Structures are given as structure tokens and as C-alpha cells.
Amino acid sequence: MPQDRWDGWRARWRVWLVTATFLPAVAIAQGADELASMIEQSLNGIEYRLDLRPEQAAQDLQEQQRRLQLLEQQAPEHPALPALNEKFAALQEGVASSLATAAGDAESGAGAAQIPTAPEAFTAGLEEVGTLQKQAESAFLMGQTAEAADYLAQAEGQMAELEQRYGDEIPKGHASLIVTKEKLAALKDQLATKPAD
């Protein structure tokens, strides 16, 4: 192989090697930023419903713990980690306190009769919307924005249908409804800022 062709090949190889090394780091950093943003929004939602639905808040907090662990693995030096861990710890204490209060109320019979409930079919439909929202979130985190947008559209359509069908039967301030709508809105905002794949 002539020297000039060899030098040209080596130069292209060096460019490819630098690119191959640099791009995954950029992709990981962008993914970590999106994950940190999603965790922060979810923790804010948990904080909002801590007293209304402590059992749901506890389940959602477990999910955020898994996400925090993933963020720590992907980007151990991420600047948002200390604040997120601090907020997570505070919410853990809040969940424990709210669960203890709810257990005390249940034993004494206080509060149970005062909370109006939504129809079972509405609750089941809301859970399906939540499943679609989680699928949209997972697709978004994997960089599949078109698929995430499709799941989100299905979730929003189903939510509108549920609200239309059960409007008068849904108690005012229904925590699960509020939280689900907040999650959908947050994901919609994130998708709006990211170009389709």
C-alpha cells in the first residue's frame, strides 16, 4: 500500500475512533439530563399527593428509586444527583409519616367515610392510561420519540374519553386523575422540546 494511501487511511481511522469514543458520552449525558428532569418532575408529583394517596406515593417513590439508581450508574457525577437524593430522602420520611397517619385513621374509622370514590370502571380506565403513559416514558428514555408520541396520544385520547364518560361521577380533587394528567403534560412538554426520530 503506498504511503499516502496508508496515511489517509490512518487519518480516517483516527477520526472514526474519536467520533466513536465521543458520541456515546454525549448520548449518555443527554440521556442522563432527561432522566434527571423526569425524576425531578415525578418527585414533585409525589410530594403533591403525599397526604392524599400515601400508598400510591409509596409505590411511585419506589419507581423513582430505581430511576435514581439508573442515573447514578449512567452519570455518577451528574450535578442534579445530590438535590434529587436529598428530595428522595425527605419524601421517604414523608411517605412513612403519611402511611402511619393513614393506618391510624383506618383503625379508628376516621376519614374513610368522608372520601368520595370514583366508579370502578373509571379507576380501571385511569390505570390503563397510566400504563400507556409509562410505555411512552420508557420509549422516550430509549430515544424512540415517535413511538413515545404515539403512546402519549393514545393515553390522552383515553383520558379525554374517561373524563367525558364519567365527568359528574369523578370526585373533585381526584388525586390519581390530577397526577396522571400532570405526568402526561410533563411528558408532552419533554417530547415537544425533542425532535422526532
- The 10s digit of each residue's pLDDT in 59-103 is 888 888 888 888 888 888 999 899 998 988 888 888 888 777 776
Give the integer Cα–Cα distance in Å for 56 and 143.
28
Residue-wise pLDDT tens digits, 170-179 = 877 777 777 7
CA distance 156 to 147: 14
Return d(Cα 156, Cα 133) in angstroms, integer: 9
Start-end ranges of CATH 1.20.58 in the chain? 1-115
- How many Cβ atoms from other residues are within 10 Å of residue 46's Cβ? 24
**What pLDDT shows up at residue 22?**
38
Question: Which residues of the chain are under the pLDDT cut of 50?
Answer: 15-28, 110-113
Q: What is the pLDDT of residue 20?
A: 43
Q: Report how far residue 41's alpha carbon sits from residue 84's, in angstroms, rounded to the nearest whole number.
A: 10
> What separation, in Å, do the N-terminal and C-terminal C-alpha atoms of the chain show?
41
1-115: CATH class = mainly alpha
pTM listed for this prediction: 0.48
Return the pLDDT at 151: 92
Lookup: cell for 104: 391510624
Coil, strand, or helix at residue 79?
coil
- Looking at residue 156, its pLDDT comes to 92
